[in-house]
Amino acid sequence: MQVYFDNGATTQPFDEVVELVAQTMKNNFGNPSSAHGLGLKAEKALNEARDVAAKTINCTRDEIIFTSGGSESNNFLVKGFTSAGAHIITTEIEHPSILNTFKDLEMVGAKVTYLKVDQYGRISLKDLENSISNQTRLVSIMHVNNEIGTIQDIESIGALIKEKSPRVKFHVDAVQSYGKLKIDVKKAQIDLLSVSGHKIHGPRGVGFSYIKKGFYPKALISGGGQERNFRSGTENLPGIVGMAKAAEIMYTNIEKNYLKAKELKEYFIESLKSLKDIKINSPSEEFFSPYILSVSFLGVRGEVLLHLLEEKGIYVSTGSACSSNHNADSHVLKAIGLSTAQTKGTIRFSFSEFNTKEEVDYTMEVLEKSLKFLRRK
């Protein structure tokens, strides 16, 4: 049996997406910027995809800018609104594409506040309120944490930011929540949002940025002025229409998929109770995504356990797939108070609507044998 429990890293593309991407590459190969018929045909498909993306988060077509994915969107939206001397705020458990961007900006004169989190990975609204000053220009907080699945209350956060200082821009990294949790940028008072296609069964190398109307970030990539001069470079039409198709499918089934993932995660957690010396880092609470389950197995190394599972056809991860230094302890797990031993023995199981209870049962069988082997004396 092959079990793919690494959907937080990437997802298997829908068959409909693969088919549409191939058809577009073959039959709609014109450049959307060209003035002839093939260019106009490509532009039409581009705008239809833009309409789909806009509808999913309750914004307008003109507020969607296509990018190469989540990391580019995060860099673009944060750097695009931050100048030397500006004060910007984020959390200590963000994705590396945010944390390293903030570090880059610190080196050129930006002042950064890193908000601490509690044992579940949640920020304190009081801490956020106290951190916002007259010099604050931007707050960037992820919706769902990629390692442990904590859901931040973005509606309360957005309301607090706008009440404290309406001119402060609110950026949300929605890479792990888009297509899985409902997002309304107007309701949550979000100004800037990042999305990636390959986390929702779409193609890799494509994503989008939401930029609230009236906001004008500095471009990250200069060139021919595509995407309203915000993101130059010929648009990746096959990837974009593939992402839009994936988004349509995900949002059509968003409630059903959520309940299925919730049931699966609860079943997995209940099964894990039969194992000794483990710690569930993302319990089945409402403020955790049902799509992510982080578990620390005491007395073993996560990398070794990962490869034992892989030998039996079970694919998981030890944390973020985007961290360049895989030998370092997870900054997320350290932030929620885990010891070095707990951190080094942590595995992330991340689910999709394709996963089943039978896969959980098989994984439990392999886990029991693997842990017995690794903990032998």
Per the listing, tokens 């673009």 go with 76
| pLDDT higher than 80, residue 54 | yes
Cβ count near 310 (within 10 Å): 11
Quote the tokens at residue 221.
């990539």
pLDDT (mean) for 264-282 = 97
Three-class DSSP labels, 204-224: CCCEEEEECCCCCCCCCCCCC
Quote the tokens at residue 359.
């896969």
Query: pTM (2 decimals)?
Result: 0.96
Backbone dihedral region for residue 373 (phi beyond 0: left; psi -120 to 50: alpha; all else: beta): alpha
Least confident of 129-133, 228-232, 289-293, 373-377: 373-377
DSSP type of residue 328: S
Q: Are strands 87-91 and 111-115 parallel, antiparallel or unpaired?
A: parallel
Domains of the chain: 3-11+254-374 (3.90.1150.10), 15-251 (3.40.640.10)
| pLDDT higher than 90, residue 145 | yes
> Rounded to 5 degrees, what are φ and ψ at 317?
-140, 170
Question: Residue 237 corresponds to which amino acid?
Answer: L
Asked if 54 and 213 touch (Cβ cutoff 8 Å), the reply is no
- Collapse the DSSP code of 60 into the 3-class scheme (helix H, G, I; strand E, B; otherwise coil) and give the result: coil
Least confident of 84-98, 115-129, 222-236, 346-360: 222-236
| pLDDT higher than 50, residue 373 | yes
pLDDT at 81: 95
Question: Residue 373 corresponds to which amino acid?
Answer: F
Q: Which residues are catalytic?
A: 322
Q: How confident is the model at residue 207 (pLDDT cuts 50, 70, 90)?
A: very high
Asked if 148 and 281 touch (Cβ cutoff 8 Å), the reply is yes
The per-residue b/e assignment along 151-164, b for 16 or more CB within 10 angstroms, e otherwise, is bbbbeebbbbbeeb
Asked if 281 and 330 touch (Cβ cutoff 8 Å), the reply is no
| pLDDT higher than 70, residue 325 | no
Sequence-distant (6+) residues with CB within 8 A of 312 are 366
pLDDT at 376: 84
Q: How confident is the model at residue 324 (pLDDT cuts 50, 70, 90)?
A: very low
Torsion of Cα atoms, 37 then 39 then 42 then 43, to 10°: -110
Q: How confident is the model at residue 59 (pLDDT cuts 50, 70, 90)?
A: very high
Percent pLDDT > 90 in the chain is 93
- What tens digit of pLDDT does each residue of 212-250 get? 999 999 999 999 999 888 899 999 999 999 999 999 999
Tell me the average pLDDT of the chain. Answer: 96
pLDDT at 228: 87
pLDDT at 244: 99
Quote the tokens at residue 18.
């693969």
Quote the tokens at residue 56.
């999913």
Q: How confident is the model at residue 377 (pLDDT cuts 50, 70, 90)?
A: low
pLDDT (mean) for 69-90 = 96
pLDDT at 328: 76
Q: Are strands 192-196 and 207-211 parallel, antiparallel or unpaired?
A: antiparallel
Torsion of Cα atoms, 70 then 72 then 74 then 80, to 10°: -150
**How many whole angstroms separate alpha carbon 178 and alpha carbon 322?**
18
